Amino acid sequence: MPSTQGNHGGDDPPREPGGEPVSRRIAIRGDLLDLLDDPGFDVVDSPEVRFDADHWLLVEDGRIAGRQSHAPDPSWTRLDHSGRLVMPGFIDTHVHSPQLDVIASYGTELLDWLNTYTFPAESRYAIAAAARYGAQLFVECLLEHGTTSAVVFPTVHKASVDALFEVALDRNMRLITGKVLMDRHAPPELRDDVEGAERECVELIERWHGRGRLAYAVTPRFAPTSSDAQLAMAGGLLSVAPDLYMQTHVAENRDEVRWVAELFPDALSYLDVYRRFGLLGPRAVLAHGVWLDGDDRALLAECGAQIAHSPTSNLFLGSGLLDWRRLEAAGARVSIATDVGGGTSLSMLRTLAEAYKVQALQGSRLTAWKALYTATRGAARALGLEHEIGSLDIGSTADIAVWNYAASPLARHRDALARSLHERLFAFMTLGDERNLESVLVAGTPHVRAASG
């Protein structure tokens, strides 16, 4: 455990909500890496890569205050991670907290998978103690994978939302979540109704939205599980509070797309269902988007909504391959997400490695730079949070992950043979996972990692 002693005269040290006092001045030594802008596909020697080998990153009052090549004066608490990689914490734009219980479940596609595994697991969150335990475990797991911000689906139960927000507030984390809306095509114990759901949403928004680093997302699970009246209610919430987020799923799997076409015969497409109910805007996060057409891509670009690309989930459930290049060529935004438990790991590194393969299957190549950008500044930008997260910019909140370049004999062997920075980072991305994580800080506070083993 690093010292958290500060040196700041007679003032009381700052205290995070529910936490220990934090040092006001921390200096982290290591190889500082972040991306200044989207490096694009194919560009291995990108000018957008900011890499300062063996530098000190200065963190003051939870924010990044500077960088320098020489050691700071003794008033700074020093965390020496020389020879390690210091990056912004990852941002996972789509993940389900209760689905840690069903990760790695065999043998189904989306609609079967929901009924067989997911809905029974989510039913347990009706019990507040189960929701609290699940939220604690989930947030702990995120941090243990180097993910410091996330856009999260809990369950339909209000207790699951309260629990997640409470845990995130306690750690001063940037977290976006909201009550899942489902009033049809789900087991009775997971169904709400329009009036009750609206009342609970309003209560939760008033309690949590804008508190600490938290934000509320209006969260219809997906078009098939909400009635027209419920989707209209969700659109109504967004129309009176445009700073709310919206999260849902779209066009993940072909059977699902066919089902939506039957349920909403007047809509031009699956995505168009959400447009009709006022759910699309720059704060909309839509998971998957595998089966979209040119009109959908144009609509995404027009409204500024983002697709949360979930490669491990799309491969595991056999859903399909995202045409990332075509989306971006149309002007749509793409972030990257684990989608656990359809996804198979909370590790953004493993997710990026699978994203590379999804592009490779379509004759395209994802550089380490493009991948790392998308998981950090790119996601922050798509969420409208670039001023706060996703980079090592001065003034940003110090959500930082420190990584070992290589965590196994094979990876160390490969790392030693790398001839360029991109080659080194690409091997790190392809071979790395949570075992590479050395340390993580949330708003400048070192996360105390659970004992391993």
Q: Which of residues 335-364 bind Zn ion (CB under 5 A)?
A: 339
244 binds Zn ion (CB under 5 A): no
> Which part of the chain contacts Zn ion (CB under 5 A), choosing from 179-187, 237-245, 284-292, 368-376?
284-292
The sign one gets for the Cα dihedral 279, 222, 359, 87 is positive
Q: Judged by CB, which is closer to Zn ion: 250, or 287?
A: 287
287 binds Zn ion (CB under 5 A): yes
Q: Judged by CB, which is closer to Zn ion: 151, or 392?
A: 151
Q: State how far the Cα of 359 lies from the Cα of 323, in Å rounded to an integer.
A: 8
Q: How far is the CB of 191 from Zn ion (least distance, A)?
A: 19
Q: How far is the CB of 247 from Zn ion (least distance, A)?
A: 9
Q: How far is the CB of 310 from Zn ion (least distance, A)?
A: 7
Q: Print the binding letters for residues 59-98 with Zn ion: x by CB under 5 A, - otherwise.
A: ----------------------------------------
Residues contacting Zn ion: total by CB under 5 A: 2
Q: State how far the Cα of 367 lies from the Cα of 52, in Å rounded to an integer.
A: 20
Residues 91 and 376 sit within 8 Å (Cβ to Cβ)? yes
328-332 contacts, C-beta under 8 A, 24 or more apart: 330/294, 330/297, 330/298, 330/300, 330/301, 331/297, 331/298, 331/300, 331/301, 332/297, 332/300, 332/301, 332/305, 332/306, 332/307
Q: In the 8-state DSSP scheme, what is residue 397?
A: B
Q: State how far the Cα of 103 lies from the Cα of 451, in Å rounded to an integer.
A: 22
Q: How far is the CB of 235 from Zn ion (least distance, A)?
A: 21
Residues 343 and 309 sit within 8 Å (Cβ to Cβ)? no
Q: What is the CA radius of gyration of the chain?
A: 21
> Which part of the chain contacts Zn ion (CB under 5 A), choosing from 26-34, 52-60, 287-295, 433-441?
287-295
Residues 214 and 225 sit within 8 Å (Cβ to Cβ)? no
Q: How far is the CB of 336 from Zn ion (least distance, A)?
A: 13
Q: Judged by CB, which is closer to Zn ion: 230, or 247?
A: 247
Q: Judged by CB, which is closer to Zn ion: 310, or 445?
A: 310
Q: Judged by CB, which is closer to Zn ion: 166, or 339?
A: 339
Q: Print the binding letters for residues 204-243 with Zn ion: x by CB under 5 A, - otherwise.
A: ----------------------------------------
Residues 416 and 370 sit within 8 Å (Cβ to Cβ)? no
Q: Judged by CB, which is closer to Zn ion: 368, or 379?
A: 379
Q: Judged by CB, which is closer to Zn ion: 312, or 374?
A: 312
Tokens found for residue 57: 């990153």
Residues 178 and 217 sit within 8 Å (Cβ to Cβ)? yes
Enumerate binding residues for Zn ion (CB under 5 A): 287, 339
